[in-house]
Amino acid sequence: MRAQGAGAGMASGSGSEPSSVAARKAALRAEMKKRLKSLSQEESRSESASIAGTLLGWSAFKSASSVGLYVSCPKLKEVQTDDLLEACLRENKAVFVPKVDGEGVMRMLKIERPSDLAPEPPYGIPEPGELDTAGNPRAEATEEGLDVLIVPGVAFDDRGRRLGRGAGYYDRYLASYQARRRRPLVAAVCFSCQVVEEVPCEAHDMRMDAVLTPGEVLFGEGAAE
């Protein structure tokens, strides 16, 4: 289930080990880009369905009444969340999804149905509008609170370390959220090929409370001993 051979100790092409955290992150992102490119559409669909089942059956998620959930984009190789989002709405969970305000800055706005989302440039990632169907400003997660926040990423390890795409959206968001409310349970979902031996990280990089892969809670509460 778990991919091996990549991480902080990954060697460069010259045989020397990247010395800085930034260099190690760049090397790992390049490696993960190759892995994700080789992931077929069928593998992506199959693993995404398995991950959704794992998440929906996870006790911490089942008991959550409010969740923050990213909306997957067809252009990005990430775990698909369409079915997961609909399942959360059917279960009457309060669902908050990202709204990008600017470079590296986002909010989490509440939606009531999938049709509340529309693609936004440059990647075509579906986002909610500022107003709900009644014309009122959408509630924000910082106002109502989150029990669980589900995040994407590029690579993860079994100690809860995460490598993002480098823009810092989720690191900044969580810091801003924690300045106003108690930290939610932060969990990541990822394909099997995204799990590595070690993810290089810095003090500002958020740590996961749990990492969920196809059929397995890899790290955190509910993980197999």
Annotated binding residues for substrate:
71, 78
CA of residue 53 relative to chain centroid, distance: 16
CA distances in angstroms from 68 to 18, 98, 129, 170, 202, listed in the order given = 35, 8, 16, 11, 24
Query: Binding site: which residues?
Result: 25-29, 71, 78, 162-170
User: How do 155-156 and 117-120 pair as beta strands?
Assistant: unpaired
The CA dihedral of 206, 210, 212, 217, to the nearest 10 degrees, is 160
Query: Binding site for ATP: which residues?
Result: 25-29, 162-170
Angle formed by the axes of helices 41-57 and 82-90, nearest 10° = 30
